Amino acid sequence: MSTLTIENVCSDYDGQVVLRHLDLTLAQGEIVALLGPSGCGKTTLLRAIAGLQAISQGSISINGQTLSGDGVFVASEQRGIGMIFQDYALFPHLTVADNILFGVNELNRTVRLARLEEMLELVKLTGLASRYPHELSGGQQQRVSIARALAYQPELLLLDEPFSNIDAQVRNDMMLEIRAILKQRNVSAVFVTHSKDEAFVFADKLALFKDGAIIQHGEAEALYRAPRDRYVADFLGAGNYLPIVVTSSHQVQYALGHLSSTEELFLPIGSQGQLLLRPQQIEIYPSINGRGCIVQRHFLGTVCHYQVQIGGVILDVSSQSTTLISGQQVDISIAAHPLVIFS
Ligand SMILES: Nc1ncnc2c1ncn2[C@@H]1O[C@H](COP(=O)(O)OP(=O)(O)OP(=O)(O)O)[C@@H](O)[C@H]1O
């Protein structure tokens, strides 16, 4: 059974529609990222799931129980949902222990103490129970907020940009660490971010938003490899677009020759389109009589980013060969792969 089911959800602020017919399901233990640019409605959906925002149409349910919609509205505190915010939202006057146990006051003292020890161990804060939030680093504070959300044993965890205040150097490790905790506990989670990089690291699935609608939803890799349009393709990574003509079920022609697709194209022969080529799908190599010329080079550590002028086109190329220089003649090759073509 899916933990969370969102069906045809619409929502507005004073008549201004901000969520448009959203459908999304989340299986037990799955992590989905709501991804998209600022103002596209990600936080509004998170708030609607939490019961902090009314919906005007559709329904939201957890484990088959309706929380919003069909004339039902379950209060936020009765939804069995934990929330983690960007600013951690810890109580500054409470110790780590009291912050973690804040939502489980009704449990008896023995169970509460056992829960506290379990949570401290889980988030690697054992020994820091009597500290106050201002005596912790940002990363430790974020772990307290995670422990607090999990202490309550929620059906579902909602995370609103929880990593944006964490130093870039430790962010990746922190995301992997928290992801491992959620996986270990089989907790389902909805994670809001505008960063594709965070979404790739933290989530199993992506729901990509545009103007209050979900444009495409699925496994991160599937969206990256088979984006349904240029909006999705561009949001998930840099790309070059080359005009092509389809010449067979597995082949296209472009300005420099033919390219093969390892999957059937399902496009009429003779049809025209724009071929998506990610910078790392183009290989460049030095060639005295090469058709291309390097016009820009940026060294990025393990790879180099080049701009290659070839015919009238400039291609962005990401290459592990870092020894090429600006002005050098080069040629390119593109290995057969499942071609992505937009009309
Ligand atoms: N309280 C509010 N009253 C009126 N309009 C609002 C309110 N909160 C958000 N909006 C509007 O609703 C739209 C969606 O906002 P939302 O915060 O859900 O976007 P978001 O994708 O989470 O953006 P961000 O990444 O910047 O947080 C925006 O146009 C925003 O201006």
Please state, in angstroms and rounded to a whole number, the distance separating the CA atoms of residues 254 and 310.
Answer: 12
For each of the domains in the chain, give its residue range(s) and CATH number, in order of start: 2-234 (3.40.50.300), 239-342 (2.40.50.140)
Q: Ligand 1 pocket test: pick from 14, 17, 44 the residue with the most ligand atoms within 8 Å of its Cβ.
A: 44
Residue 13 Cβ contacting ligand 1 at under 6 Å: yes
Residue 35 Cβ contacting ligand 1 at under 6 Å: no
Contacts of 91 (CB under 8 A, 6+ apart): 98, 99, 102, 133
For the residues 291-300, what does the mean pLDDT come to? 94
Predicted local distance difference test score (pLDDT) of residue 2: 62
Please state, in angstroms and rounded to a whole number, the distance separating the CA atoms of residues 152 and 107.
Answer: 10
Residue 227 Cβ contacting ligand 1 at under 6 Å: no
In tens, the pLDDT along 235-276 reads: 999 999 999 999 999 999 998 889 999 999 989 999 999 999
Answer whether residue 84 shows pLDDT above 90: no
In tens, the pLDDT along 141-190 reads: 888 998 898 888 888 999 998 887 777 777 888 889 889 989 988 999 99
For the residues 314-329, what does the mean pLDDT come to? 93
Model pTM greater than 0.80? yes
Q: How far is the CA of 18 from the centre of ligand 1 (A)?
A: 8
Predicted local distance difference test score (pLDDT) of residue 86: 76
Contacts of 205 (CB under 8 A, 6+ apart): 26, 30, 31, 32, 33, 217, 218, 219, 220
The residue whose CA is least distant from atom 30 of ligand 1 is 39
Q: How far is the CA of 42 from the centre of ligand 1 (A)?
A: 8
Residue 18 Cβ contacting ligand 1 at under 6 Å: yes
Q: How far is the CA of 208 from the centre of ligand 1 (A)?
A: 16
Please state, in angstroms and rounded to a whole number, the distance separating the CA atoms of residues 69 and 158.
Answer: 19
The mean pLDDT of the chain is 91
Q: How far is the CA of 336 from the centre of ligand 1 (A)?
A: 42
Q: How far is the CA of 232 from the centre of ligand 1 (A)?
A: 21
ipTM for the complex? 0.95
Residue 15 Cβ contacting ligand 1 at under 6 Å: no
SS (H, E, C) the chain: CEEEEEEEEEEEECCEEEEEEEEEEEECCCEEEEECCCCCCHHHHHHHHHCCCCCCEEEEEECCEEEEECCEECCHHHCCEEEECCCCCCCCCCCHHHHHCHHHCCCCHHHHHHHHHHHHHHCCCCCCCCCCHHHCCHHHHHHHHHHHHHHCCCCEEEEECCCCCCCHHHHHHHHHHHHHHHHHHCCEEEEEECCHHHHHHHCCEEEEEECCEEEEEEEHHHHHHCCCCHHHHHHHCCCEEEEEEEEECCEEEECCEEEEECCCCCCCCCCEEEEEECHHHCEEEECCCCCEEEEEEEECCCCEEEEEEECCEEEEEEECCCCCCCCCEEEEECCCECCEEEC
The residue whose CA is least distant from atom 12 of ligand 1 is 18
The residue whose CA is least distant from atom 9 of ligand 1 is 44
Q: Ligand 1 pocket test: pick from 12, 43, 56, 165 the residue with the most ligand atoms within 8 Å of its Cβ.
A: 43
Residues in the chain: 343
Please state, in angstroms and rounded to a whole number, the distance separating the CA atoms of residues 319 and 305.
Answer: 6
Answer whether residue 218 shows pLDDT above 70: yes
Residue 148 Cβ contacting ligand 1 at under 6 Å: no
Residue 43 Cβ contacting ligand 1 at under 6 Å: yes
Answer whether residue 1 shows pLDDT above 60: no
